[in-house]
């Protein structure tokens, strides 16, 4: 299952790649359906009508559903007419959540001079009367602080336990606390019966050294707005529920890639951990991002054709990379 699938481009590419090797795997007898979801109903209708996706739907390999992370519940699948709900899944659940958690509501706190504060969003400047545009670009978002007692702030003891270390760092810092993401994970654990693998790539951090020493959160505006993802807190919550988090050993620069596993035998996943090491640590999309010198406008003259070809191959023939190079040469 994939959340926030947008145009469906990733789903199309994923299925084409998946179907080249899955028939040769030891698990090829399993019936697997890829479910793509989005909050926007118009996106779901777009997928249903797209001719490139129709063969996968007809083969029972692809289905669609709307999903609202703030109101989790059963998922009604459009193509098959089935409902994904607690107790309905015979096999484990794999979820792709790329650039998903950063747009979910979350709480913000600050620790200053030993006092713990709640961060409340405020609008510092709004568009003046008579101006035509009232979009987010005309709003200046910030925080005002109010002291709170972290020990009693949440009624859920798991929330309190995960939050507690941030109150004891001894340094001035800001904390992003992904409460909505917690509830999404709780629902996934229930839906999957604890047999869960969630793969997520987003702008965020998973190391305690990075999570406990933060500046004031930055609002990234892009039609809506998003914040960094505190994967460290997500991992600690999953561990309290009996699951685990798989991360790399270094600080992510552009995007962080993590794997969250459900409480069903969290310590095993030997092959999953090896695959994560190979594709998300030894050389990851975050590393590839830093080779974008070959894909920056006006840089083509500085590199040789064979270097550009190597860059395209390394990207897995990513259409964005290929399109850029073709545009530069045209």
Task: Identify the pLDDT of residue 133.
Answer: 56
Task: Identify the pLDDT of residue 154.
Answer: 98
Compute CA 148 distance to the chain's CA centroid, rounded to the nearest angstrom: 29
As its CATH architecture, domain 9-104+176-289 has 3-Layer(aba) Sandwich (3.40)
Task: Identify the pLDDT of residue 221.
Answer: 72
- Range name among 116-125, 244-253, 290-299 with the lowest pLDDT average: 290-299
Q: Which residue has the higher pLDDT, 222 or 111?
A: 111
Single pTM value for the model: 0.88
- Per residue in 66-93, pLDDT (tens digit) is 998 888 788 999 999 999 988 888 888 9
- Per residue in 4-46, pLDDT (tens digit) is 888 999 899 999 999 998 989 888 888 889 999 998 999 999 9
Residue 131 confidence class, pLDDT cut points 50, 70, 90? low
pLDDT at 296 exceeding the cut of 70: no
Radius of gyration of the chain (CA): 22
Domain extent listing, the chain: 9-104+176-289, 107-175, 292-329
Task: Identify the pLDDT of residue 102.
Answer: 92
């Amino acid at each position: 299952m994939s959340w926030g699938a947008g145009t469906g481009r990733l789903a199309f590419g994923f299925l084409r790649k998946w179907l080249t090797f899955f028939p040769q795997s030891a698990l090829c007898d399993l019936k697997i359906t890829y479910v793509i979801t989005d909050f926007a109903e118009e996106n779901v209708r777009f997928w249903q009508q797209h001719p490139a996706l129709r063969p996968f739907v007809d083969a029972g390999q692809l289905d669609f559903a709307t999903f609202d992370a703030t109101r989790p519940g059963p998922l009604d699948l459009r193509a098959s007419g089935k409902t994904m709900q607690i107790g309905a899944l015979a096999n484990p659940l794999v979820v792709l959540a790329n650039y998903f958690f950063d747009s979910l509501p979350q709480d913000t706190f600050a620790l200053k001079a030993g006092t713990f504060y709640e961060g409340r969003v405020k609008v510092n400047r709004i568009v003046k009367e008579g101006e035509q545009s009232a979009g987010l670009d005309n709003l200046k978002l910030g925080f005002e602080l109010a002291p709170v007692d972290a020990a009693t702030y949440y009624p859920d003891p798991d929330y309190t336990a995960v939050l507690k270390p941030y109150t004891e760092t001894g340094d001035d810092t800001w904390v992003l606390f992904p409460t909505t993401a917690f509830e999404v994970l709780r629902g996934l654990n229930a839906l999957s019966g604890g047999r869960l693998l969630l793969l997520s790539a987003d702008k965020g951090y998973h190391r305690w050294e990075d999570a406990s020493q933060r500046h004031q959160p930055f609002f990234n505006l892009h039609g809506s707005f998003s914040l960094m993802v505190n994967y460290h807190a997500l991992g600690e919550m999953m561990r309290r529920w009996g699951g685990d988090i798989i991360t790399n050993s270094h600080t992510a620069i552009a995007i962080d890639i993590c794997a969250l596993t459900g409480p069903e035998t969290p310590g095993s996943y030997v092959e999953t951990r090896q695959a994560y090491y190979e594709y998300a640590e030894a050389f990851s999309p975050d590393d590839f991002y830093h080779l974008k010198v070959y894909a920056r406008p006006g840089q083509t003259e500085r590199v040789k054709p064979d270097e550009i070809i190597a860059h395209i191959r390394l990207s897995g023939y990513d259409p964005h990379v290929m399109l850029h190079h073709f545009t530069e040469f045209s």
